[in-house]
Amino acid sequence: MLEKYTYVLVVFVLALNALISIYGIVYRRSLVKKLIALTILSDTVFISIILVGFTLTHPLVPPVYTSMEAPETEFLVKHASDPLPQALVLTGIVIGLAVNALIAFGIIQAYRLSGTTDARKLIKPLVEEVSE
């Protein structure tokens, strides 16, 4: 009973985190706040990918061999977490880091050129130009 409650609670909280961070990306005015919300969104997606490899067994161990004898293989097949989602998330974290560093460079240069990091003030000249 507690197991099902925990699983549904974790899924629900991850969905709420994703919704709050999408609200933060769309409605907040500062570019740095948008970057913070973007990192929260990508972290939430990574955790939900690893949740796919979560199984409900009593000693949940990482998929690492600790001894070279024969029964270790069956023990790991029954009690270990899935290595494949972990490998994909490792790649994803590194690529997310590179893209977020590039966005940080872009924010600094936008501040140097226009004096503000407010998204609505940055877009105001373009909006006026279109409406004329």
* 104-123 positions binding another protein, by CB under 8 A: 104-109, 111-113, 116-118
Interaxial angle between packed helices 83-114 and 31-52, expressed in degrees from 0 to 180 and rounded to the nearest 10: 180
Is residue 14 involved in binding another protein (CB under 8 A)? yes
Name the residue nearer to another protein (CB basis): 57 or 124: 57
For residue 75, give the DSSP letter.
H
| Residues numbered 44-83 forming contacts with another protein, rule: CB under 8 A | 46-47, 50-51, 53-58, 60-66, 68, 73, 76-78, 80-83
42 within 8 A of 96, measured Cβ to Cβ: yes
Is residue 26 involved in binding another protein (CB under 8 A)? no
Is residue 127 involved in binding another protein (CB under 8 A)? no
Name the residue nearer to another protein (CB basis): 29 or 129: 29
Q: Return d(Cα 119, Cα 34) in angstroms, integer.
A: 10
| Triad 129, 28, 107: Cα angle to 5° | 70
